[in-house]
Amino acid sequence: MIRGTGGFSMVETTLVCLIASVLIGAGFRSGGRGLDKMSVDSSRSALLALHARARARAIEHGTVTRLIVDPAVDSAWVAYGQET
């Protein structure tokens, strides 16, 4: 009886699946770190923009303007006079 040469053996298929799962797992871990870094960069940019806005408002109007950061509720805003 002649054995066909087409196809893959069970060992080869299992090995390919194992290697693929290891590579995918490594990609998810590094991808998560990348998303965390993008989130931090975005938050930093927003805070710097608020700082620039508060500073510009204070210079334009010649009044005290405050940049308030409240970590308890995870927010920041610009306050001047009675308005916020």
Q: How many independent structural domains does the chain possess?
A: 1
- Residue 56, domain member (yes or no): yes
- Residue 47, domain member (yes or no): yes
Distance CA 43, CA 41 (A): 5
The residue that leads in pLDDT, 79 or 81, is 79
Enclosing domain of residue 55: 12-80
Summarize pLDDT for 9-55 with one digit per residue, the tens: 888 889 888 888 888 887 777 777 777 888 888 989 999 999 999 99
How many angstroms separate the Cα of 31 from the Cα of each of 36, 38, 46, 61, 75? 9, 11, 23, 45, 27
Confidence of residue 56 (pLDDT cuts 50, 70, 90): very high
- Residue 32, domain member (yes or no): yes
Confidence of residue 4 (pLDDT cuts 50, 70, 90): low
CA 38, 27, 20: angle at the middle one, nearest 5?
A: 165
Distance CA 60, CA 27 (A): 49
Confidence of residue 2 (pLDDT cuts 50, 70, 90): low
- Residue 60, domain member (yes or no): yes
Q: Count, in order, helices (H) and strands (E) of the chain.
A: 1, 2
